[in-house]
Amino acid sequence: MSSATAAADQVREYKRQAAEFAADMVQDGMIVGLGTGSTAVFLVEALGRRHREGLRFLGIPTSIATEKLARSLGVPLTSFAEHESVDLAIDGADEIERGTLNLIKGLGGALLREKIVAAASKKFVVVADDSKLVDHLGADCLVPVEVTPFGWESTARHLGRLGARVSPRRSPTGQFFVSDGGNLILDCNFGTIAKPADTEDAIRRIVGVVDSGLFTGIASEAVTCGPEGLIHVTVTGAGNVF
Protein backbone atom coordinates (compact mmCIF):
# COMPACT_ATOMS: atom_id res chain seq x y z
CA MET A 1 0.00 0.00 0.00
CA SER A 2 1.41 3.44 -0.91
CA SER A 3 1.83 6.05 1.83
CA ALA A 4 -0.79 8.25 0.09
CA THR A 5 -3.32 5.40 0.19
CA ALA A 6 -2.50 4.70 3.84
CA ALA A 7 -2.95 8.39 4.69
CA ALA A 8 -6.31 8.51 2.87
CA ASP A 9 -7.43 5.38 4.73
CA GLN A 10 -6.42 6.98 8.02
CA VAL A 11 -8.49 10.12 7.26
CA ARG A 12 -11.49 7.93 6.37
CA GLU A 13 -11.07 6.18 9.73
CA TYR A 14 -11.04 9.54 11.55
CA LYS A 15 -14.22 10.56 9.70
CA ARG A 16 -15.86 7.25 10.61
CA GLN A 17 -15.00 7.58 14.30
CA ALA A 18 -16.29 11.17 14.50
CA ALA A 19 -19.52 10.28 12.67
CA GLU A 20 -20.17 7.17 14.77
CA PHE A 21 -19.63 9.12 18.01
CA ALA A 22 -22.26 11.63 16.87
CA ALA A 23 -24.62 8.87 15.70
CA ASP A 24 -24.68 7.68 19.32
CA MET A 25 -26.20 11.06 20.32
CA VAL A 26 -29.42 10.09 18.52
CA GLN A 27 -32.12 9.02 20.96
CA ASP A 28 -35.46 7.25 20.63
CA GLY A 29 -38.15 9.41 19.05
CA MET A 30 -35.85 12.06 17.57
CA ILE A 31 -36.18 13.82 14.22
CA VAL A 32 -32.63 13.78 12.86
CA GLY A 33 -31.06 15.94 10.14
CA LEU A 34 -28.88 13.70 7.97
CA GLY A 35 -25.89 15.54 6.49
CA THR A 36 -24.18 15.09 3.15
CA GLY A 37 -20.64 14.14 2.15
CA SER A 38 -18.08 11.45 2.85
CA THR A 39 -18.24 11.91 6.64
CA ALA A 40 -22.03 11.94 6.68
CA VAL A 41 -22.02 8.60 4.80
CA PHE A 42 -20.56 7.02 7.95
CA LEU A 43 -23.27 8.72 10.01
CA VAL A 44 -26.08 7.35 7.84
CA GLU A 45 -24.53 3.88 7.86
CA ALA A 46 -24.27 3.96 11.67
CA LEU A 47 -27.87 5.13 11.97
CA GLY A 48 -28.96 2.35 9.61
CA ARG A 49 -27.34 -0.15 11.98
CA ARG A 50 -28.91 1.50 15.05
CA HIS A 51 -32.32 1.44 13.33
CA ARG A 52 -31.95 -2.30 12.66
CA GLU A 53 -31.07 -2.74 16.35
CA GLY A 54 -34.37 -1.11 17.32
CA LEU A 55 -33.73 2.64 17.68
CA ARG A 56 -36.80 4.63 16.63
CA PHE A 57 -36.12 7.91 14.86
CA LEU A 58 -36.94 9.67 11.59
CA GLY A 59 -34.35 11.31 9.33
CA ILE A 60 -34.58 14.40 7.14
CA PRO A 61 -31.90 14.10 4.44
CA THR A 62 -29.95 17.14 3.19
CA SER A 63 -29.43 15.94 -0.39
CA ILE A 64 -30.72 13.51 -2.96
CA ALA A 65 -27.53 11.45 -2.46
CA THR A 66 -28.14 11.14 1.29
CA GLU A 67 -31.80 10.34 0.71
CA LYS A 68 -30.86 7.50 -1.66
CA LEU A 69 -28.27 6.12 0.77
CA ALA A 70 -30.66 6.33 3.72
CA ARG A 71 -33.43 4.57 1.78
CA SER A 72 -31.02 1.84 0.66
CA LEU A 73 -30.14 1.19 4.33
CA GLY A 74 -33.75 1.21 5.52
CA VAL A 75 -33.39 4.46 7.50
CA PRO A 76 -36.93 5.84 7.98
CA LEU A 77 -37.35 9.34 6.53
CA THR A 78 -39.72 12.24 6.96
CA SER A 79 -39.96 15.87 5.79
CA PHE A 80 -40.79 19.39 6.93
CA ALA A 81 -44.35 18.80 5.73
CA GLU A 82 -44.71 16.48 8.72
CA HIS A 83 -42.36 18.07 11.28
CA GLU A 84 -41.74 21.67 12.20
CA SER A 85 -38.25 21.26 13.62
CA VAL A 86 -35.35 18.85 13.82
CA ASP A 87 -34.13 17.65 17.22
CA LEU A 88 -30.56 17.02 16.16
CA ALA A 89 -28.79 17.62 12.84
CA ILE A 90 -25.39 16.06 12.19
CA ASP A 91 -23.31 17.06 9.19
CA GLY A 92 -19.75 17.37 7.90
CA ALA A 93 -17.90 20.57 7.01
CA ASP A 94 -15.09 21.77 4.79
CA GLU A 95 -13.62 24.13 7.39
CA ILE A 96 -14.40 24.53 11.10
CA GLU A 97 -13.20 27.65 12.87
CA ARG A 98 -11.70 26.80 16.26
CA GLY A 99 -13.43 28.53 19.15
CA THR A 100 -16.56 29.69 17.27
CA LEU A 101 -17.52 26.59 15.23
CA ASN A 102 -18.33 28.89 12.32
CA LEU A 103 -18.14 26.75 9.19
CA ILE A 104 -17.59 26.63 5.48
CA LYS A 105 -19.75 23.95 3.89
CA GLY A 106 -20.93 23.03 0.42
CA LEU A 107 -17.88 21.81 -1.47
CA GLY A 108 -20.16 18.90 -2.39
CA GLY A 109 -22.86 21.34 -3.52
CA ALA A 110 -25.42 20.49 -0.84
CA LEU A 111 -25.21 23.73 1.15
CA LEU A 112 -28.77 24.96 0.70
CA ARG A 113 -30.63 21.89 1.96
CA GLU A 114 -27.96 21.52 4.64
CA LYS A 115 -28.55 25.09 5.82
CA ILE A 116 -32.33 24.73 5.80
CA VAL A 117 -32.05 21.61 7.97
CA ALA A 118 -29.42 23.20 10.24
CA ALA A 119 -31.54 26.33 10.70
CA ALA A 120 -34.53 24.19 11.71
CA SER A 121 -32.50 22.19 14.24
CA LYS A 122 -32.53 22.47 18.00
CA LYS A 123 -28.95 21.20 18.00
CA PHE A 124 -26.48 21.11 15.11
CA VAL A 125 -23.39 18.93 15.53
CA VAL A 126 -20.57 19.09 13.01
CA VAL A 127 -18.43 15.98 12.44
CA ALA A 128 -15.05 15.86 10.69
CA ASP A 129 -11.50 14.65 10.69
CA ASP A 130 -9.31 17.16 12.48
CA SER A 131 -7.69 18.49 9.27
CA LYS A 132 -10.85 20.59 8.86
CA LEU A 133 -10.05 22.68 11.95
CA VAL A 134 -8.65 26.14 11.15
CA ASP A 135 -7.90 29.32 13.07
CA HIS A 136 -9.62 31.50 10.44
CA LEU A 137 -12.05 30.50 7.69
CA GLY A 138 -11.30 31.09 4.03
CA ALA A 139 -7.52 31.11 3.80
CA ASP A 140 -7.43 27.68 2.15
CA CYS A 141 -11.05 27.08 1.23
CA LEU A 142 -13.42 28.62 -1.28
CA VAL A 143 -16.85 29.74 -0.09
CA PRO A 144 -19.56 28.14 -2.27
CA VAL A 145 -22.46 30.46 -3.03
CA GLU A 146 -25.67 29.04 -4.50
CA VAL A 147 -27.24 31.42 -7.04
CA THR A 148 -30.16 31.38 -9.42
CA PRO A 149 -29.14 30.47 -12.99
CA PHE A 150 -30.83 33.61 -14.36
CA GLY A 151 -28.42 36.54 -14.22
CA TRP A 152 -25.65 34.58 -12.52
CA GLU A 153 -23.05 36.74 -14.26
CA SER A 154 -24.52 39.84 -12.60
CA THR A 155 -24.68 38.09 -9.22
CA ALA A 156 -21.04 37.06 -9.69
CA ARG A 157 -20.04 40.71 -10.30
CA HIS A 158 -21.75 41.76 -7.07
CA LEU A 159 -19.88 39.02 -5.21
CA GLY A 160 -16.69 40.31 -6.80
CA ARG A 161 -17.42 43.75 -5.34
CA LEU A 162 -17.37 42.15 -1.87
CA GLY A 163 -13.76 41.27 -2.58
CA ALA A 164 -14.08 37.69 -3.82
CA ARG A 165 -12.50 36.05 -6.86
CA VAL A 166 -15.49 34.20 -8.29
CA SER A 167 -15.66 31.09 -10.51
CA PRO A 168 -18.76 29.19 -11.55
CA ARG A 169 -18.42 25.56 -10.50
CA ARG A 170 -18.22 23.15 -13.40
CA SER A 171 -18.36 19.38 -13.69
CA PRO A 172 -15.25 17.52 -14.93
CA THR A 173 -16.79 17.64 -18.44
CA GLY A 174 -17.05 21.44 -18.33
CA GLN A 175 -20.81 21.70 -17.79
CA PHE A 176 -22.14 24.00 -15.07
CA PHE A 177 -22.61 22.12 -11.80
CA VAL A 178 -26.33 22.15 -10.93
CA SER A 179 -27.42 21.78 -7.29
CA ASP A 180 -30.26 19.57 -6.06
CA GLY A 181 -32.37 22.76 -6.11
CA GLY A 182 -31.59 23.44 -9.80
CA ASN A 183 -29.27 26.35 -9.02
CA LEU A 184 -25.64 27.15 -9.87
CA ILE A 185 -22.73 27.32 -7.45
CA LEU A 186 -20.23 30.18 -7.57
CA ASP A 187 -17.00 29.32 -5.74
CA CYS A 188 -15.70 32.48 -4.09
CA ASN A 189 -12.16 33.06 -2.93
CA PHE A 190 -12.36 35.66 -0.17
CA GLY A 191 -8.98 34.82 1.36
CA THR A 192 -8.98 34.90 5.16
CA ILE A 193 -12.42 35.95 6.39
CA ALA A 194 -12.03 38.28 9.37
CA LYS A 195 -15.71 38.55 10.25
CA PRO A 196 -17.57 35.48 8.93
CA ALA A 197 -21.01 36.58 10.19
CA ASP A 198 -20.70 39.94 8.42
CA THR A 199 -19.54 38.24 5.23
CA GLU A 200 -22.41 35.74 5.42
CA ASP A 201 -24.90 38.62 5.79
CA ALA A 202 -23.34 40.66 2.99
CA ILE A 203 -23.47 37.69 0.59
CA ARG A 204 -27.08 36.95 1.49
CA ARG A 205 -28.15 40.52 0.72
CA ILE A 206 -27.12 40.20 -2.96
CA VAL A 207 -30.12 39.67 -5.23
CA GLY A 208 -29.74 36.36 -7.03
CA VAL A 209 -27.98 34.68 -4.12
CA VAL A 210 -29.96 31.82 -2.63
CA ASP A 211 -27.51 31.26 0.25
CA SER A 212 -23.85 30.62 0.94
CA GLY A 213 -21.74 27.90 2.50
CA LEU A 214 -20.83 30.17 5.41
CA PHE A 215 -22.64 28.79 8.46
CA THR A 216 -22.09 31.17 11.36
CA GLY A 217 -23.56 30.82 14.84
CA ILE A 218 -25.38 27.60 13.97
CA ALA A 219 -23.14 24.72 15.10
CA SER A 220 -23.12 24.32 18.86
CA GLU A 221 -21.00 21.16 19.01
CA ALA A 222 -18.16 19.62 17.02
CA VAL A 223 -16.84 16.09 17.06
CA THR A 224 -13.46 15.79 15.39
CA CYS A 225 -11.00 12.93 15.20
CA GLY A 226 -7.27 12.86 14.47
CA PRO A 227 -4.01 11.43 15.77
CA GLU A 228 -4.94 12.58 19.27
CA GLY A 229 -8.25 10.71 19.16
CA LEU A 230 -11.79 12.01 19.40
CA ILE A 231 -12.40 15.56 20.56
CA HIS A 232 -15.92 16.75 21.39
CA VAL A 233 -16.31 20.49 21.93
CA THR A 234 -19.34 22.63 22.69
CA VAL A 235 -19.65 26.38 22.20
CA THR A 236 -22.02 28.50 24.18
CA GLY A 237 -24.25 31.01 22.46
CA ALA A 238 -24.47 29.13 19.14
CA GLY A 239 -27.48 27.32 17.78
CA ASN A 240 -31.13 28.09 17.12
CA VAL A 241 -33.68 28.96 19.76
CA PHE A 242 -37.03 27.13 19.61
Ligand X SMILES: O=C[C@H](O)[C@H](O)[C@H](O)COP(=O)(O)O
Q: Which of 97, 114, 200, 221 is catalytic?
A: 114
**CA 225 → CA 69, 215, 222, 235, distances in Å?**
24, 21, 10, 17
Of 33, 48, 61, 108, the residue at the interface with ligand X (CB under 6 A) is: 108
Report yes or no: 115 and 151 within 8 Å, Cβ to Cβ: no
**107: annotated binding-site residue?**
yes
Shortest distance (Å) from residue 82 CB to ligand X: 24
Inter-helix orientation angle 38-52/3-23, to 10°: 50
Stretch of residues binding ligand X (CB under 6 A), selected from 2-10, 32-40, 187-195, 223-231? 32-40
Amino acid at 112: L
Shortest distance (Å) from residue 103 CB to ligand X: 8
Read off φ and ψ for residue 187, nearest 5 degrees: -90, 120
113 binds ligand X (CB under 6 A): no
**91: annotated binding-site residue?**
yes
Specify the residue, 92 or 239, whose C-beta has the smaller distance to ligand X.
92
33 binds ligand X (CB under 6 A): no
Report yes or no: 230 and 130 within 8 Å, Cβ to Cβ: no
138 binds ligand X (CB under 6 A): no
Q: Which of residues 86-105 bind ligand X (CB under 6 A)?
A: 91-94, 105
User: Which DSSP category does 97 fall into?
Assistant: E
The DSSP string of 123-175 is -EEEEEEGGGEESSTTSSS-EEEEE-STTHHHHHHHHHHTT-EEEE-B-TTSP
Of 48, 59, 61, 109, the residue at the interface with ligand X (CB under 6 A) is: 109
Reference 113, options 134, 91, 130, 135; nearest CA is 91
Of 90, 111, 134, 210, the residue at the interface with ligand X (CB under 6 A) is: 111
Shortest distance (Å) from residue 15 CB to ligand X: 6
121 binds ligand X (CB under 6 A): no
106 binds ligand X (CB under 6 A): yes
84 tagged catalytic: no
Amino acid at 125: V
Specify the residue, 57 or 215, whose C-beta has the smaller distance to ligand X.
215
Q: Cα dihedral sign for 225, 229, 234, 235?
A: negative
User: Which DSSP category does 65 fall into?
Assistant: H
Tell me the Cα Rg of the chain: 18
**173: annotated binding-site residue?**
no
130 binds ligand X (CB under 6 A): no
Binding residues for substrate: 36-39, 91-94, 105-108, 132
Residue positions forming the annotated binding site: 36-39, 91-94, 105-108, 132
Which residues are at the interface with ligand X (CB under 6 A)? 35-40, 91-94, 105-111, 114
